[in-house]
Amino acid sequence: MAAFAFIHGAGDAGWYWHLVEAELRERGHDTVAPDLPCDDDSAGLPEYADTVAAAVGDRTGLVVVAQSLGGFIAPLVCDRLPVELLVLVAPMIPAPGEAPADYLSATRYGEEPRQQYDDTIALFYQDVPSELAAEALKRTRGQSEARLGEPSPLRAWPDVPTRVLICRDDRLFPPRFLRRVARERLGITPGEIEGGHTPALSHPHELADRLEAYAAGQGLIPACRRRPGRPASG
């Protein structure tokens, strides 16, 4: 079966993935979701990637799944480990050498029509059950910006099959924006799932189905063992 390594977004924690992890483990898969040193001013993208690589250890059949800012870290992990599949969920999609702090201007984010939300719940957790959203807020950490202005050490997109999965109700990175960025930067037409920016909390079963389908599409899961779900395409 597959081993899934999960990378959380800015100022978050590995706990973000706990419902998806439980779902995949119930199906016989291995998972790991480390806390990145995102509140450490001395840590940058290389240290984040090192943290993930250390947590993965010697696991094989590896699927790396990254959300939001995790999209900057995931391709660096692919340079460190024998990754079989990379899945970006509601992601930032970096260009080689790009600094995270430059991402919004480089992708012309400001030109995209979108509503403004000043409330954290309304922006990130609008479709997450209230008690779960409250717990998520308790577990968030400060995101250090000390090194987010540094160019990424990424030199080229890794030679790893890549999928992009966007959320139809994402208020931070609207579908229209991510469809364009995925097409321009990776030449990929994204798959789509219901939910806002945090689908691992709002739609964990559906997200687990899609991740398992992607892994099956790469031959990492025998067809007879996969739970019926969405097709692996997209």
SS3 assignment, position 126: coil
Give the pLDDT confidence score for residue 223 in this predicted structure: 58
Q: Does position 16 have pLDDT exceeding 60, yes or no? A: yes
Would you place residue 222 in the very low, low, confident or very high pLDDT band (cuts 50, 70, 90)? confident
What is the CATH superfamily name and number for domain 3-217? Alpha/Beta hydrolase fold, catalytic domain (3.40.50.1820)
Of 28, 29, 19, the C-alpha closest to 128 is 19
| Higher-scoring residue by pLDDT: 175, 222 | 175
Q: What is the mean pLDDT of residues 174-190?
A: 97
- Report the first-to-last Cα separation within the chain, whole angstroms: 22
pLDDT tens readout for residues 124-168: 999 999 999 999 999 999 999 999 999 999 999 999 999 999 999
pTM of the full predicted structure? 0.94
| DSSP-assigned beta bridge partners for residue 212 | none
Give me the sign of the Cα torsion angle 205, 207, 210, 211.
negative
User: Cβ distance 3 to 60 under 8 Å?
Assistant: yes
Domain parsing of the chain, residue ranges: 3-217
**192 burial level (CB within 10 Å; 0-12, 13-18, 19+):** middle
